[in-house]
Amino acid sequence: MDFIKHPVKIAHKIISSVFLPASDIPSFVGKGNVDLGITGHDVILEAEMKEHVTEVLKLGFGKCALQVQVPEVGAIKDVKDLAGKRVVTSFEVLAGEYFGKIDDELGLKGDNRTHIEYVGGSVEAACALGLADGIVDLVESGDTMRAAGLHAIATVLPTEAVLIKSSKPKHASLAPLIELITQRIAGVLASNNFVLCQYNIRREKLTECTAITPGRRAPTVSPLENDNWVAVSAMVERKNVANVMDRLVATGAEDVLILKLDNCRV
């Protein structure tokens, strides 16, 4: 079902979660009565709602790329080779803007310009079925495109899921609640992406070590009873933690500890 209302109690207030097609969310947030939404960066641009919504947070999931794909065995090797030909996509606006610039650069006019045709699904089959010379579609792993005999020759834009709000707030009284929800989401994201790194280091090595662990804003440095040593605490990216620990130990850090974060406020 495209439309479902689900009440949630936050900070002694009842809010409604509304589930809608991703392509509709920017319009409901930007022009409708919805205060916050989650959709793709690409969807905002395709819906031409960039002026109406603000991207509050990148959510770190749904990462993919809107790419130009053509048959792997074929004469088209560069995106300019596709200009003036047939392109099938479900992203008419973005594909039109992208190839419009290429057509202008090449001086293509009238019927000689690239023909953009909309297809709502199975875009990857358009070349094999004789509907297109190339396609523009979202690609995550690329497995589907490879199975269809296609490969990428250009990337229109990278994209991922984002939290959005209206550029013109509609409910002034709800501003604190919207900020609270945003902070909670940001805290969960940070706790998933970062860990807390704590270690001891000699004072003369402090500058070198804090360059390794600069933290999100700055590391916390505390004196120890031994005047020659300090304790350092800093958030580091979870994906880099092993490398950070190795570099700290090589610099002379001792008692290096990594603490997982269940939640936080950043």
The string of pLDDT tens digits covering residues 118-141 is 998 899 999 999 999 999 999 998
Q: How confident is the model at residue 14 (pLDDT cuts 50, 70, 90)?
A: low
Query: What length does the chain have?
Result: 266
Q: Domain residues of the chain, as ranges? A: 4-60+161-170, 64-159, 194-259
H helix intervals, 83-228: 92-106, 143-147, 175-193, 206-212
DSSP label at 192?
H
In CATH, what number does 194-259 get? 3.30.70.120
12 pLDDT more than 60: no
pLDDT for the residue numbered 182 = 92
Instruction: Judge whether residue 25 has pLDDT over 60.
Output: yes
The pairing of strands 134-139 and 86-89 is: parallel
Q: Which whole number is the average pLDDT over 89-94? A: 96
Average pLDDT over all residues of the chain: 91
Mean pLDDT value of segment 81-101:
96
Do 4-60+161-170 and 64-159 fold alike per CATH?
yes
pLDDT in tens, 67-89: 999 999 989 999 999 999 999 99
Structure tokens at 49: 């709602």
Which of the four pLDDT bands, split at 50, 70 and 90, describes residue 145? Answer: very high
Query: Of the CATH numbers 3.30.420.10, 3.40.190.10, 3.40.250.10, 3.20.20.70, which one belongs to the domain with range 64-159?
Result: 3.40.190.10
**Of the candidates 26, 23, 72, the residue with the CA atom closest to the CA atom of residue 165:** 26
Measured between its terminal Cα atoms, the distance across the chain in Å is 35
Tell me which architecture the domain covering 4-60+161-170 has in CATH.
Answer: 3-Layer(aba) Sandwich (3.40)
Q: Quickly state the pLDDT bin for 13 (edges 50, 70, 90).
A: low
The more confidently predicted of residues 169 and 88 is 88
